[in-house]
Amino acid sequence: MINETLIPKLGVITEIRQDTPDIKTFRVVSPEGKKLFEHRPGQCAMLSIPGIGEAMFSITSSPTNTEYMEFSIKKCGCVTTWLHAAEPGQNVTVRGPYGNPFPVDDVFAGKDLLFVAGGVGLAPLRSVINYCRHYRDRYGKIDIVYGSRSKDDLLDYQEIINEWATDSGVNVHLTIDREQEGWDGHVGFVPNYVKELGFDTNKIAVLCGPPIMIKFTLEGLRSLGFEKTQVYTTLELRMKCGVGKCGRCNVGSKYVCKDGPVFRFDELDELPNEY
């Protein structure tokens, strides 16, 4: 019988890292200890706990990681709450990869890159950032603007300051929403910070975060002179099948699971405002 995409593979959670008070990062491998499948930066996978449910998550680890996959998951719904209560060794089922990746090998190649993320929105971008860092010589300057509610809510903080910030040609700009003790970095919302930093427009920008942040950051970038064709984002809607058949994650005639989740803003303009 032919393969069935709806039938998942078995995965094992080998490590759980508490990133922020409500975000944990789960490391998943096959029962044999190998990576479950190959993916491209920006793609997603369906994780599930039988009896609890199945949900789509972006793969946070870079494709260049040959050992395992990671998922940064915020506790907010049914499946995520259950996962947050899980312990290492827990089996999960995984299927994927789904969706289109960021065009890292063609459009992004040779360009300066600007990543703008808010909160758990860093999760899908981390995969791209690490991919680009791995093939550092293929890309120009990399700027990363990342903001969160507080210092404690910054995802992958250690990795950011120990690895990303120390790379040559990579500039990391962190910000938090409100003043906090022990924080001497920037304070303020991401969209304003992006405008303050004032990037030159000769680059590709990638946004991910809460809808309100995306909206105002896009406006900010537009005021700096960015064209919509230079700005990418990644969407999320309720999904069940992951392959464009169950009929719920469409925005107009595009399915986020199949035609997305990565969209360029000029492409989004062609779609009705229903996401």
Partner 1 sequence: MRKISLSNLDKAFALIAENAKLYIPVDGKGGASFKLWQEGVKMSDALNTVRSAKDFFFPQMETLMEFKTEGKNIEIIDNRQEKEDFVVFGVRACDVKSFEILDRVFLSEPVDSYYASRREKGVIVSLACGRPSETCFCKTFGIDAANPAGDITAWKTETDLYLLANTEKGEKLLSAISSITEDCDGKAVEEQKKQISAIMEKLPLSNVTTEKFGAGKTKEYFDSPAWDELSSHCLGCGTCTFVCPTCQCYDIKDFKTNEGVQRFRCWDSCMYSDFTLMAHGNSRASQKERFRQRFMHKLVYYPDNNDGMFSCVGCGRCLTKCPISMNIVKVMKTLGGKEND
Return residues touching partner 1 (CB under 8 A).
1-10, 49-54, 76-78, 80, 86-87, 89-93, 236-238, 240-241, 243, 245-250, 252-253, 270-272, 274-275
| CA 2/CA 244 separation, integer angstroms | 19
Question: In the bound complex, what is the minimum distance in angstroms from residue 93's beta carbon to partner 1?
Answer: 6
**Residue 13: partners with Cβ closer than 8 Å, 6 or more residues away:** 26, 27, 28, 86, 87, 88, 89, 90, 91, 92
Question: In the bound complex, what is the minimum distance in angstroms from residue 29's beta carbon to partner 1?
Answer: 14
Question: In the bound complex, what is the minimum distance in angstroms from residue 87's beta carbon to partner 1?
Answer: 7
Minimum CB distance to partner 1 smaller for 225 or for 272: 272
Minimum CB distance to partner 1 smaller for 34 or for 134: 34
| CA 169/CA 136 separation, integer angstroms | 9
Smallest CA-to-CA distance from 216 within 240, 201, 233 is with 233
Catalogue the long-range contacts made by 85-89 (C-beta closer than 8 Å, 24 or more residues apart). Answer: 86/13, 86/16, 86/26, 86/49, 87/13, 87/16, 88/13, 88/14, 88/15, 88/16, 89/12, 89/13, 89/14
Smallest CA-to-CA distance from 155 within 127, 135, 179, 181 is with 127
Question: In the bound complex, what is the minimum distance in angstroms from residue 205's beta carbon to partner 1?
Answer: 24
Minimum CB distance to partner 1 smaller for 182 or for 247: 247
Question: In the bound complex, what is the minimum distance in angstroms from residue 214's beta carbon to partner 1?
Answer: 14
